[in-house]
DNA sequence: TTACTTTCGGAAAGCGTTTTCGGAATATCA
DNA sequence: TGATATTCCGAAAACGCTTTCCGAAAGTAA
């Protein structure tokens, strides 16, 4: 391994360099490059040529310093794997336009101290706004009132009702799952889901129950089967149901992992999916949903949309007022072979 | 949803404000806050008090403008799920110190155009360095020579040997897997892995074969079973082996997903893991490895370390020269119950 | 030609820092 | 007490850019 000077050493060209080469003042050069008025076509062309020659790239920092805007937003997450933050980041990137706004990603790793630390850093970098992504979809402490920049909470709402939060519409998602299954002719539907302390679990169950009631259908197994967000729980809950000779022709699982456990257990009992029992999951975690046997129908929380909306709300807040309260973002059902035979 | 002015409106305090309140010049205020010399203890205390009173937070942009360093590095990734980039980002954050360096994350989504776009944006933001993370562990096009900042390629090496790349040591990882299995007394080991066009697949196989040879053991099934990085392939390859009455007491799988398929197929044939057949995976993708039945021993690529080393190499390059070539980062074996009975 | 617009280009201020350098005040030494 | 060394503090330049404002030049109308 040699050890040479790899990156070009000379500092990048400045506006001053461009102006000098074009034989104009930096004021004129600035106007020419930014399409401002009061520059003749010929001078503009000369400046542009000089800029191209020098591979001039404007210093966004300096620009931000005078504009009072940095074109950066902070994404403060606690999501250790990026499962949530990356899609949200991409949505935000799209909405802002990747060329005008960049995202500073900070992972607090679930540590409040670290979160405060990152917050201070982001503020001192003068980000234009902040998106806070929680690890679980339940109210989390606000990062503070009266911050110098607008803040949007995504996925996990802020506990402070004066903050603006964006969350998935889990109630409607629950209804969608039932609607899908009944639309396929299923009548005896069980709901196996995760940790009951998760608001999302409660909401999805609530939606499912409401939709069942609206259609005059009972919930198979008589109650919602809360447990853990694991395959193991999906398996064991399913076995319990079958052991009790509960007749089921569909299962609405609270997560894709649970759904896989459910399918596993059904297979072990010789039941075929979706012929005998249709199964739908939640999260649409591609890697799980598509590697399942059969591929898993699932409900997608539209995280990119969440990010996109977060960006839009922030953008609106830049020149105006930010709303408050909790905004529900609709989910989307992705049908695959675990409910609809290929 | 009300629509009020949520974030504090007044612009943040500047050094000028602090100086004025403390009754000193901005020069003195700056020195006091930065612990420079030539400031008496009492004035320093006064300045600090003023700063605290105003909740002063220095403008990192302005600081960067004069220092010629922004304290930001760009992380240019193509990793759609964050599976790679987030751990690498966290490692880099740790190495730099989250308070002195922030990471701008840009996802190119596998699109060269978008990558170029992001690159330009990052450069115009004057990042101090760049980490490029590829989606698959094979040589990828260099993002360019003679960039104004040092660049380190992580996970996927650059095709240009003059660039500095950091990759996992797949060959040694292959040896480690075999070493682990033979250490447990296994003698007939098969290797089922993914797409043979992946250099990583070849390297792991090479390491495994070398280690087997060193121990005078044959490869069960006579050849490496290349296929796809899927559960389905793991299942079908295993079935094929069993159908051929190949005696195996261990399988080294090329990924955790393949490993799960292998375990599935073994169970279907009435074989118990690890009693009859030990199985080890690769990637140590927590969610897969731990939700497997039994939990999966696996090889972790130490992505955080990759990020950490990338950060260290960049930091070294800031004041000095950057190396070139491909640096191998060792992997780590994480034993769980799929090889070692609980 | 004179008077008035319109169009261009540049000087300079300012964004919020850090840092150099010179001057004033205080302390140290003969 | 006068000369010299120390210690503090502030004025000002610099970082790279945008923008306001003013003057010069050129065009238009009478």
Nearest residue in A to B57, CA atom: A124
pLDDT at A1 over 50: no
Nucleotide with smallest C1' distance to residue B63 CA? C17
Q: What is the distance between the alpha carbons of residues A210 and A174, in angstroms, rounded to a whole number?
A: 9
The two counts, helices (H) then strands (E), for chain B are 12, 13
Quick one: which of B327, B283, B314, B301 has its CA closest to B166? B327
Query: Among positive and negative, which fits the CA dihedral A38, A43, A49, A52?
Result: negative
Contact indicator for B157, B217 with CB cutoff of 8 Å: no
Q: What is the distance between the alpha carbons of residues A282 and A169, in angstroms, rounded to a whole number?
A: 13
List bases in chain D with any atom under 7 Å of a protein Cβ. Answer: 7-12, 14-21
Asked if strand D contacts A36 at the CB level, meaning under 7 A, the answer is yes
Q: Is B10 helix (H, G, I), strand (E, B) or coil?
A: coil
Q: What is the distance between the alpha carbons of residues A189 and A181, in angstroms, rounded to a whole number?
A: 8
Quickly give A47 CA vs C6 C1' distance in Å.
23
Written in H, E and C, the secondary structure of A129-173 is EEEEECCCCCCECCCCCCCCCCEEEECCCECCCCCEEEEECHHHH
Chain A nearest-CA distance from B322, in A, is: 6
Q: What is the distance between the alpha carbons of residues A333 and A203, in angstroms, rounded to a whole number?
A: 16
Chain-centre distance for alpha carbon B233: 26
> Which tens digits make up the pLDDT trace of A168-225?
999 999 999 999 999 999 999 999 999 999 999 999 999 999 999 999 999 999 999 9
Instruction: Considering only CA atoms, give the Rg of chain A.
Output: 26
> Which tens digits make up the pLDDT trace of A228-263?
999 999 999 999 999 999 889 999 999 999 999 999
Residue A296 to residues A185, A285, A289, Cα–Cα distance (Å): 18, 10, 5
pLDDT value for A9: 59
pLDDT at A146 over 90: no
Q: Which of B52, B61, B108 to mutate to test the interface with A (most CBs of A within 10 A)?
A: B61
Q: Is residue A107 exposed (0-12), middle (13-18) or buried (19+ Cβ within 10 Å)?
A: buried
Q: What is the distance between the alpha carbons of residues B73 and B131, in angstroms, rounded to a whole number?
A: 7
Nearest residue in A to B101, CA atom: A121
Residue A55: how many other CB atoms lie within 10 Å:
10
Q: Under an 8 A CB cutoff, do B107 and A99 touch?
A: no
Q: What is the distance between the alpha carbons of residues A163 and A161, in angstroms, rounded to a whole number?
A: 5
> Which tens digits make up the pLDDT trace of B51-107?
999 999 999 999 999 999 999 999 999 987 878 999 999 999 999 988 889 999 999
- Cα angle vertex A1, ends B172, B196, to 5°? 40
Residues of chain B with pLDDT under 50: 1-4
Instruction: Considering only CA atoms, give the Rg of chain B.
Output: 26
For the CA atoms of A92, A97, A99, A101, the dihedral, rounded to the nearest 10 degrees, stands at -40
Q: What is the distance between the alpha carbons of residues B307 and B131, in angstroms, rounded to a whole number?
A: 9
Residue B90: its H or E element: helix B85-96
- In chain A, which residues have their Cβ closer than 8 Å to the Cβ of B57? 120, 123-124
- Which residue is nearest nucleotide C9, judged by alpha carbon to C1' distance? A28
Q: Is A116 helix (H, G, I), strand (E, B) or coil?
A: helix
> Which tens digits make up the pLDDT trace of A59-104?
999 999 999 999 999 999 998 787 899 999 999 999 998 888 999 9
Q: What is the distance between the alpha carbons of residues A130 and A148, in angstroms, rounded to a whole number?
A: 10
Band (pLDDT 50/70/90 cuts) for residue A164 is very high
Written out in words, the top-level CATH class of the domain with range B70-168+303-331 is alpha beta
Quick one: which of B135, B131, B173 has its CA closest to B156? B135
Which architecture does CATH list for B170-300? 3-Layer(aba) Sandwich (3.40)
CB within 8 A of B239, min separation 6: which ones?
B265, B268, B269
The fold of A70-168+303-330 is Rossmann fold (3.40.50)
Quick one: which of B29, B43, B119, B26 has its CA closest to B76? B119
Quick one: which of B74, B63, B65 has its CA closest to B102? B74
Report H helices in chain A. 15-22, 26-33, 41-53, 60-67, 85-96, 112-124, 170-183, 199-214, 231-243, 256-268, 286-291, 303-318
Q: What is the distance between the alpha carbons of residues B153 and B135, in angstroms, rounded to a whole number?
A: 11
Q: Is A126 left (phi over 0), alpha (psi -120 to 50) or beta?
A: left
Neighbour-count burial for A260-284, b at 16+ CB within 10 Å, e otherwise: bbbbbbbeeeebebbeebbbbbbbb
Q: Is B323 helix (H, G, I), strand (E, B) or coil?
A: strand
pLDDT value for A189: 97
Asked if strand C contacts A124 at the CB level, meaning under 7 A, the answer is no
Q: Is A262 left (phi over 0), alpha (psi -120 to 50) or beta?
A: alpha
CATH of B15-58, one of 3.40.470.10, 3.40.50.10150, 1.10.443.10, 1.10.260.40: 1.10.260.40
Taking the stretch 257-276 of protein chain A, residues with Cβ within 7 Å of any atom in nucleic acid chain C are none
> Which tens digits make up the pLDDT trace of A7-47?
555 789 999 999 999 999 999 999 999 999 889 999 999 99
Do domains A15-58 and A170-300 share one topology? The answer is: no
State both tokens at B143: 């993002």
Contact indicator for B149, A9 with CB cutoff of 8 Å: no
Asked if strand D contacts A26 at the CB level, meaning under 7 A, the answer is yes
Q: Under an 8 A CB cutoff, do B7 and A122 touch?
A: no
Q: Is B127 helix (H, G, I), strand (E, B) or coil?
A: coil
Neighbour-count burial for B316-339, b at 16+ CB within 10 Å, e otherwise: ebeeeebbbeebebebebbebbbb
Residue B92 to residues A36, A123, A232, A307, B311, Cα–Cα distance (Å): 41, 20, 35, 24, 5
Residue A219 to residues A54, A170, A171, A177, B10, Cα–Cα distance (Å): 70, 18, 16, 13, 55
Q: Where are the domains of chain B?
A: 15-58, 70-168+303-331, 170-300
């Amino acid at each position: 391994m040699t050890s040479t000077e790899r990156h070009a050493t000379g500092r990048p060209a400045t506006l001053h360099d461009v102006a000098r080469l074009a034989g104009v003042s930096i004021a004129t050069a600035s106007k020419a490059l930014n399409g401002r008025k009061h520059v003749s076509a010929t001078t503009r062309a000369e400046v542009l040529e000089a800029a191209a020659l020098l591979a001039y790239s404007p210093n966004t920092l300096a620009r931000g310093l005078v504009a009072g805007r940095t074109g950066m937003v902070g994404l403060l997450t606690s999501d250790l794997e990026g499962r949530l933050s990356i899609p949200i980041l991409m949505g935000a990137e799209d909405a802002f336009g990747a060329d005008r706004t960049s995202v500073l990603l900070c992972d607090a790793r679930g540590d409040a101290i670290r979160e405060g630390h990152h917050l201070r850093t982001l503020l001192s970098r003068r980000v234009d706004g902040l998106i806070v992504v929680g690890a679980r979809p339940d109210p989390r402490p606000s990062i503070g009132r009266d911050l110098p920049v607008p803040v949007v909470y995504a996925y996990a709402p802020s506990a402070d009702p004066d903050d603006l939060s964006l969350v998935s519409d889990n109630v409607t998602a629950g209804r969608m799952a039932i609607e899908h299954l009944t639309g396929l002719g299923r009548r005896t539907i069980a709901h196996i889901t995760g940790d009951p302390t998760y608001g999302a679990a409660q909401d999805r169950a609530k939606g499912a129950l409401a939709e069942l009631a609206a259609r005059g259908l009972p919930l198979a197994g008589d109650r919602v089967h809360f447990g853990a967000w694991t395959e193991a729980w999906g398996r064991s809950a399913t076995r319990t149901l079958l052991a009790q000779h509960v007749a089921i022709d569909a299962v609405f699982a609270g997560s894709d992992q649970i759904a896989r456990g459910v399918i596993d257990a059904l297979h072990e009992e010789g039941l075929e999916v979706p012929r005998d029992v249709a199964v739908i999951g939640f999260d649409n975690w591609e890697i799980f949903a598509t590697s399942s046997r059969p591929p898993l129908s699932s409900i997608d929380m539209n995280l990119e949309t969440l990010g996109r909306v977060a960006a839009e709300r922030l953008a609106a807040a830049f020149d105006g007022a930010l709303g408050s309260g909790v905004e529900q973002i609709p989910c989307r059902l992705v049908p695959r072979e675990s409910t609809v035979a290929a």
